[in-house]
Amino acid sequence: MFFKWMKQCDVRNILVSYAFFKTTESLEKLFNELEWYPKNLIIDSGAFSVWSRGLNIDIDKYANFCLNVNDKLSKKTNINIVNLDVLPGKFGQFPIGIERKESAEKGWQNMLYLESKGLKV
């Protein structure tokens, strides 16, 4: 498993995607089984991966995931939360100006919302 190799190499910084770890328990279980935590754990929404498949991420579920990770793992590793990005247009098509502007504005609103939940984004 890739994480075992990271433990062996004492990798200090790891980025994990909410798109692949939907529950805090699955992430916590992984590190507990390894008996190892990176110095810095970066939680990314996985917005691009989801967007490229034509899907969306529920911001409340992402916020709860981040809050739970912070709650359960922050004593063992530094937690860094990445905003829930909003990508413009549709995958495979060049976005027009208004789509880029709207995605930037929505991304900003997402950051403010996550911060209102107590997350440092």
- In tens digits, the chain (121 residues) has pLDDT values of 677 777 778 778 889 999 888 788 888 888 888 788 889 999 999 999 999 998 999 999 999 999 999 999 999 999 999 999 999 988 888 889 999 999 999 999 999 999 999 999 9
> CB burial class (10 A; 0-12, 13-18, 19+) of residue 63?
buried
- Residue 15, CB-side half-sphere exposure with 13 Å CA sphere: 6
| Residue carrying the six token digits 């935590």 | 37
Q: What's the pLDDT score for residue 1?
A: 61
Q: What's the pLDDT score for residue 49?
A: 92
Q: To the nearest whole percent, how much of the chain has pLDDT over 90?
A: 64
Q: What's the pLDDT score for residue 12?
A: 85
Residue 109: partners with Cβ closer than 8 Å, 6 or more residues away: none
Q: What's the pLDDT score for residue 50?
A: 92
